[in-house]
A and B are shown apart, each in its own frame.
Chain A
Amino acid sequence: MSQENMKLTLHVWRQSGPQADGFFETHKVSDISPHMSFLEMLDVLNEQLVESGKDAVAFEHDCREGICGSCGMVVNGMAHGPQNLTTTCQLHMRQYKDGDEIWIEPWRASAFPVLKDLVVERAAFDRIIQAGGYVSVRTGSAPDANEIAIPKRYADSAMDAAACIGCGACVAACPNASASLFTAAKVAHLGLLPQGQPERLSRVAQMVMQHDLEGFGSCTNHGECEAACPKGISINFIAQMNRDYLKSQLLSASSLTRKTAEKHA
């Protein structure tokens, strides 16, 4: 842990487009305060690069407070860097010391193609939600909010699952590049609530199918996803998803898998 300003050597992944070959480019930055966030350190690098006429390192970020899920890079081999329960934007430079070398790479998964440098395309996550990650309710047709009491226990667990920020660290950390934790978090969030029951089985069937179609790998219980997840989403939700999925397959009445069948066709 450093208290003095630091000089660092950065090895940053550069890649001009999805088809291009990537490579590590080495840069030095100095006068890095321990109070800076990791992304502010990259801002310093980018300002240097631009003012000397070079192309800035592209990386995604927005809220910079760990909630939007935009940021995400593999730092010294770890998704979101070394600090537990912390997104890259919340990682601060006091975790490093003068003279450190830092390797910075994009998420690596075939379902997340690199668009440029550290920016990857995560639209596959959106498509998994589109496949069924919702409750089909029309605007204006809802009953009074207090009509259905929900045991606090279930509401709290649903919230634990719903806390997922969709950053993709689970995929980046998984040796199989599986998005099971992401998918399971949404399946569990809605599956734990009474509002989510009518579509519970069709939802899980469709979302899992979409997950596979996107080219994510399958879960073989490594547990790396849970360790990398900045929101501490529990791997137990994957077990729940698997149970629901099994049920949906056993009950695969034609109505349930109509959409699934269309997708295969």
Chain B
Amino acid sequence: MTTLNGHIPEGPVAELWDKHRFNLKLVNPANRRKHKVIIVGSGLAGASAAATLGEQGYEVECICFHDSPRRAHSIAAQGGINAAKNYQNDGDSVYRLFYDTVKGGDFRAREANVYRLAQVSVSIIDQCVAQGVPFAREYGGLLANRSFGGAQVSRTFYARGQTGQQLLLGAYQALSRQIEAKSVTMRNRLEMMDVIVVDGKARGIVARDLVTGKLSTHLADAVVLATGGYGNVYYLSTNAIGSNVTAAWRAHRRGALFANPCFTQIHPTCIPQAGETQSKLTLMSESLRNDGRIWVPKNAADVTKDPSSIPESERDYYLERRYPTFGNLAPRDIASRAAKVVCDEGRGVGPEVNGQRRGVYLDFADAIGRLGKAVIEERYGNLFEMYERITGENPYSVPMRIYPASHYTMGGLWVDYNLMTTVEGLFGTGEANFSDHGANRLGASALMQGLADGYFVLPYTLSNYLASHKPAPVSQDAPEVKATVKDVEALIGKLTQAPDPKHHPDYYHRKLGQIIWDKCGMSRNEAGLKEALREIPQLRDDFWKHVKVSGEAEGVNQTLEKAARVADFFELGELMCLDALDRDESCGSHFREEHQTEDGEAKRNDADYAYVAAWEYTGDTSTPTLHKEPLEFQEVIPSVRSYK
């Protein structure tokens, strides 16, 4: 084990970024065209970076597996984006956003990164408005805000329930402008399969064309992975079906450390699973908790009864009971765990799936009685419609059913203050890196981070890298390039020619997801994690023997794409459990049952665990090496998070 250096500049936190920016080297505009940068990913993090670097004059190649950059998973974000504009004059400031984010992350994020994020948040809104992002406005024509969980101020900017869509279209349009200007070459339907590392530096990627099946090599002076999060390791999640860990994982196998993999966010308000063939879970905006009351029957015997027939005295409004101050608005991690507790007690409602009812009521009857149906319809009409479309039930008359689902991953590629991984010249941005959210992310902060990284941080730090490293030319025939292509060919061969092919990759993904959900999901314990660490390698062996990929590798083959992604989830899943086992404390999203107070609240251990856990691949996925980056807090002194 070694101690990692995050390359955080010295000095007061509020001055760091300005000073650092001044110290960073610049590339002369005339020389920029000589530098080529590959950006993998066209979500908020990738599209914003590609557009900005292209505009600055670098030769940029942007790659995504979608048919168009506009389809990246960022498009699905609903609620909003935070920024410390203080347009509401309600006491917000850069410092307060910084403070809320460090505390919300349960003191497992770097102060310096979080401060920078809060600082640049204000420029993001300016940039997006200038691009024509149609944020919601007040009658006076100025920008409107809403409040979001974990904050006492109203700092969230939004575009109806489609904020991610509008921000992504803004970035996509900026990117399109650079594509037209020929400063960015866009390559759709291309999946990165590996990173090419030459002399310890990232010099390109190997990719598979998803239409022809052909492998190609792409060489550059630096590579950026803006490839999103790995929430689909659980199989069911609110992420898009295609979201995966492959790019980050292949980089990990080539030397990039992977940080805090066990920090995964489980969102409390999603539509519960309806059956065993379900492919994804749909998020219902958290805002519903402002007016809906959450309950389950007091008695397990009542769970199949018509909810309207259950009298008040027989209902358990468990969040209001356990958290009288925050009630139904308790933070995400706390609300999620509380739902799991009542369902595990056999008091869950809705259909039985795999032998358990996983659902709790979110009931609007009181709010409709108090405010009238019209008000509720105005506030949540579109969400109610979406709910009805999916479940066939009308939430105005029958209480909604909700259950937590995998939603976001705080863990990811370890990056330093410059967003560079431990492989020189390989950068990680957006949800793919681990940088800013510690052990729990606050609502509306992921969009902010993706755009902060892409528009305002990476363009500086990447330029500095290019200005200070003169990479020797690499040819397509270099041994490292050829060897990487060979490795990818071997992998595809292994996936398409299992010794005894039997099962579709989804068969394995579902099983893997179930193990990780049960044992490394909302709550974890030593015995369960150890069991998972026995089960995962066994299932993985079975996968390599029996995975069945039909069709040709030379052409469109979505089964093959899926199989390759599942293979990487297997390895990541194991690392998540190892990380969760190592972190013998409860913090944020990571709840170790051994570490709780008498009334079931998380107990953090700052003396032993105030560090970032960054794992090194050793060739054997069961025995990675742990490196620690100690976390120091100068501004926000760690305290107990209480929402009682």
Chain B residues near A137: list those with CB within 8 A: 127, 130-131, 174
Q: Does chain A have a CB within 8 A of B637?
A: no
Assuming the A-B contacts A70-B66, A135-B132, A138-B55, are A145 and B143 also in contact, with contact meaning beta carbons closer than 8 angstroms in the complex?
yes
Chain A residues near B135: list those with CB within 8 A: 145, 155
Q: By the criterion CB–CB under 8 Å, are A123 and B67 in contact?
A: yes
Within residues 150 to 167 of chain B, which ones have a CB less than 8 A from any CB in chain A?
Answer: 159-160, 162, 165-166
Q: By the criterion CB–CB under 8 Å, are A140 and B123 in contact?
A: yes
Q: Does chain A have a CB within 8 A of B85?
A: yes
Q: By the criterion CB–CB under 8 Å, are A155 and B136 in contact?
A: yes
Tally of chain B residues near chain A (CB < 8 A): 84
Total A-B contacts with CB atoms under 8 angstroms apart: 226
Docked Cα-Cα span, A136 to B559, in Å, equals: 41
Chain A residues near B176: list those with CB within 8 A: 126, 129-130, 133-134
Assuming the A-B contacts A64-B279, A121-B67, A149-B142, are A46 and B504 also in contact, with contact meaning beta carbons closer than 8 angstroms in the complex?
yes
Within residues 500 to 517 of chain B, which ones have a CB less than 8 A from any CB in chain A?
Answer: 502-504, 506-507
Q: Does chain A have a CB within 8 A of B242?
A: yes
Within residues 444 to 484 of chain B, which ones have a CB less than 8 A from any CB in chain A?
Answer: 455-456, 459
Q: By the criterion CB–CB under 8 Å, are A56 and B558 in contact?
A: yes
Within residues 12 to 39 of chain B, which ones have a CB less than 8 A from any CB in chain A?
Answer: none
Q: Does chain A have a CB within 8 A of B275?
A: yes
Mask: chain A, 167-204; 1 = CB below 8 Å from B; 0 = not: 00000000000000000000001100101100000000
Q: By the criterion CB–CB under 8 Å, are A35 and B211 in contact?
A: no
Assuming the A-B contacts A63-B76, A139-B459, A159-B134, are A145 and B559 also in contact, with contact meaning beta carbons closer than 8 angstroms in the complex?
no
Q: Does chain A have a CB within 8 A of B260?
A: no
Q: By the criterion CB–CB under 8 Å, are B66 and A34 in contact?
A: no
Q: Does chain B have a CB within 8 A of A90?
A: yes
Report which of A63, A148, A159 forms a contact with B73, defined as CB distance below 8 A: A63
Q: Does chain B have a CB within 8 A of A25?
A: no
Chain B residues near A190: list those with CB within 8 A: 132
Mask: chain B, 39-83; 1 = CB below 8 Å from A; 0 = not: 000000000100110010000000000111111010110000000
Docked Cα-Cα span, A134 to B54, in Å, equals: 15
Within residues 19 to 47 of chain A, which ones have a CB less than 8 A from any CB in chain B?
Answer: 33-37, 39-40, 43-44, 46-47
Q: By the criterion CB–CB under 8 Å, are A50 and B549 in contact?
A: yes
Report which of A56, A115, A126, A142 forms a contact with B551, defined as CB distance below 8 A: A56
Q: Does chain A have a CB within 8 A of B240?
A: yes
Docked Cα-Cα span, A92 to B274, in Å, equals: 12
Docked Cα-Cα span, A145 to B130, in Å, equals: 7
Number of chain A interface residues as a range: 35 or more
Docked Cα-Cα span, A131 to B211, in Å, equals: 25
Docked Cα-Cα span, A16 to B213, in Å, equals: 13
Docked Cα-Cα span, A56 to B559, in Å, equals: 7
Docked Cα-Cα span, A219 to B279, in Å, equals: 38
Q: Does chain A have a CB within 8 A of B345?
A: no
Q: By the criterion CB–CB under 8 Å, are B240 and A36 in contact?
A: no
Q: Does chain A have a CB within 8 A of B138?
A: yes
- Chain B residue with the shortest CB-CB distance to A136: B177
Kindly provide the distance from the CB of B407 to the nearest chain A CB, expressed in whole angstroms: 13
Mask: chain A, 210-222; 1 = CB below 8 Å from B; 0 = not: 0000000000000
Q: Does chain B have a CB within 8 A of A7?
A: no
Q: Does chain A have a CB within 8 A of B216?
A: no
Chain A residues near B188: list those with CB within 8 A: 123, 126
Q: Does chain B have a CB within 8 A of A86?
A: yes
Q: Does chain A have a CB within 8 A of B172?
A: yes
Chain B residues near A16: list those with CB within 8 A: 555
Assuming the A-B contacts A135-B173, A145-B85, are A56 and B392 also in contact, with contact meaning beta carbons closer than 8 angstroms in the complex?
no
Docked Cα-Cα span, A190 to B48, in Å, equals: 19
- Chain B residue with the shortest CB-CB distance to A39: B279
Report which of B69, B76, B459, B551 forms a contact with A67, defined as CB distance below 8 A: B76
Docked Cα-Cα span, A166 to B55, in Å, equals: 25
Chain B residues near A70: list those with CB within 8 A: 66-67, 71
- Chain A residue with the shortest CB-CB distance to B275: A33
Docked Cα-Cα span, A150 to B132, in Å, equals: 11
Chain B residues near A131: list those with CB within 8 A: 180
Contacts A36-B277, A67-B165 given; 8 further ones with Cβ under 8 A?
A63-B75, A68-B240, A123-B68, A126-B69, A133-B173, A134-B132, A146-B142, A149-B140
B interface list, Cβ under 8 A from A: 48, 51-52, 55, 66-71, 73, 75-76, 85, 87, 123, 125-132, 134-143, 159-160, 162, 165-166, 169, 172-174, 176-177, 179-180, 186, 188, 211, 240-242, 274-275, 277-280, 282-283, 386, 389-392, 455-456, 459, 502-504, 506-507, 548-552, 555-559
List 18 interface pairs A-B (beta carbons < 8 Å), by A numbering.
A35-B274, A35-B391, A37-B390, A51-B548, A62-B71, A64-B241, A64-B280, A65-B386, A69-B75, A92-B389, A117-B556, A134-B174, A140-B123, A146-B87, A152-B137, A158-B134, A193-B132, A195-B132
